[in-house]
Amino acid sequence: MLYAFAFFSCAFQSTAVADQPPEITIQPKTNVFFAYGDTRFTDPRTCEFSDSDFRRQLIDGMVHTAQKPDFVIITGDVVYRGDNEDDWHVFDDETKELRNKKISLLPVLGNHDVRGTTGQSKFVDHFEALKPHPQLKAQGWYLVNYANTEFLMLDSQSSYTQDSPQGDWMRKKLKAVPEELAFLFIVLHHPLVTHASRLPSVYRCHDRYSRPALGHDVEDAEKHLKILLEEFSKTHRGIRIVVFSGHNHNYERYVENRITYVVTAGGGATPYRINRRSSDFYNEPGPTYHYCKFSLRGSSLIGEMYKLSLKGRTAQWERKDQFELSGPRAAE
């Protein structure tokens, strides 16, 4: 080959008041969770949009790891067309192993997920953790509590401004963050930091070719959000912030102003070219189909990226990035 989920049954509690965004509490078992995104589940015959060979092998790899994750974060674009029931059937079929192993999925909305008038409703209906909260069909953001961390699960398609519903909720949650929190995770589809190339490239899979594909720049909304998070970080130096995003179909990791940014978007969708620099934490050229593993160890977080390559239909896995973040209290 040339370079050319839905189901929640681990221990958790969910709370919500009327139509307010829900809060989901996950009880830690292994203190391990995974993250990946831009799977774009769709007809396996249309590999130029998303390659089912990689999709299936990624799921198989996550299912058969030595440490079962407490949950899997998906950074958006779960399916290719959110209003297409056939795409959701493909999602159901290809994620059966995750359901069988009782591995739960916690997604954020991507631009492909909200396609059509029914996209967001179908999205909510296909995740057991989200089903009890119909308000997510109109306002797609929520909070996850997990050990000594919190996850703000944001909707990149909605405004973050102070006078918007999501922006108002987010600022209230930032003000209410417990001082003893070790890590605050921000999860959204659009990246806050990326070096994606704007030069188009064509990828081949089997006997099909993609349309010219090019990466996305950081949008103004995310630039303003980045400033807000940097201001929060300055006044909450005891809390380490990690941002997970997708949208640019590859893997990237950067650190700016004490905030770690991880683009994990190698879940199967047409790969995008990244302008790698020798100083980057990860600088391999070409596609990077992958998932990320995160392990909580007290006040420390260990992150690992596992890259998937295929020789024929044989999967080859390599750990291509590893890092550790220690909260200030861990260093005291």
Which pLDDT score is estimated for 201?
Answer: 83
Model pLDDT for residues 201-256, shown as the tens digit of each residue: 888 888 888 888 889 999 999 999 999 999 999 999 999 999 999 999 999 999 99
Percent of the chain with pLDDT over 90: 83
CB atoms closer than 10 angstroms to residue 216? 15
Percent of the chain with pLDDT over 70: 93
Q: Residue 54, SS3?
A: helix
Which pLDDT score is estimated for 1?
Answer: 39
Q: Is 2 inside a domain boundary? A: no
Measured CA to CA in angstroms, residue 199 lies from 98, 193, 219 at distances of 36, 18, 17
Range of the domain at 147: 12-331
Return the closest-CA partner of residue 268 out of 13, 97, 56, 124: 56
Alpha-carbon distance 93 to 190, whole Å?
27
Q: Is 97 inside a domain boundary? A: yes
Question: Which residue type does 189 have?
Answer: H
Alpha-carbon distance 111 to 247, whole Å?
9
Return the closest-CA partner of residue 143 out of 199, 117, 181: 181
SS3 readout for 144-189: EEECCEEEEECCCCCCCCCCCHHHHHHHHHHHCCCCCCCEEEEECC
Residue pair 112/216 in contact by the 8 Å Cβ criterion: no
Q: What is the CATH number of the domain that holds 187?
A: 3.60.21.10
The yes-or-no verdict on residue 5 having pLDDT over 60 is no
Residue pair 106/294 in contact by the 8 Å Cβ criterion: no
Number of domains in the chain: 1
Alpha-carbon distance 92 to 126, whole Å?
8
The yes-or-no verdict on residue 309 having pLDDT over 70 is yes
CB atoms closer than 10 angstroms to residue 63? 16
Model pLDDT for residues 168-186, shown as the tens digit of each residue: 999 999 999 998 999 999 9
Helix 85-94 / helix 52-63 crossing angle, nearest 10 deg: 40
Model pLDDT for residues 69-118, shown as the tens digit of each residue: 999 999 999 999 999 999 999 999 999 999 899 999 999 999 999 998 89
Q: Is 76 inside a domain boundary? A: yes
Alpha-carbon distance 269 to 78, whole Å?
10
Residue pair 73/144 in contact by the 8 Å Cβ criterion: no
Q: What angle do CA 307, 311, 313 make, to 5 degrees?
A: 100
Q: Is 297 inside a domain boundary? A: yes
Q: What is the pTM of this model?
A: 0.93
Who's near 32: CB < 8 A, 6+ residues apart? 67, 68, 69, 70, 293, 294, 295, 296
Q: Is 5 inside a domain boundary? A: no
Alpha-carbon distance 287 to 274, whole Å?
9
Backbone angles phi, psi at 317, to 5 degrees: -110, 135
Q: Is 7 inside a domain boundary? A: no
More confident residue, 312 or 270: 270
Which pLDDT score is estimated for 83?
Answer: 96
Q: Is 65 inside a domain boundary? A: yes
Which pLDDT score is estimated for 17?
Answer: 57
- Mean pLDDT of the chain, nearest integer: 92
Q: Is 1 inside a domain boundary? A: no
Question: Which residue type does 295 have?
Answer: S
Q: Please compute the mean of the pLDDT values over residues 126-138 and round it to a whole number.
A: 93
Q: Please compute the mean of the pLDDT values over residues 4-25 and round it to a whole number.
A: 61
Residue pair 265/37 in contact by the 8 Å Cβ criterion: yes
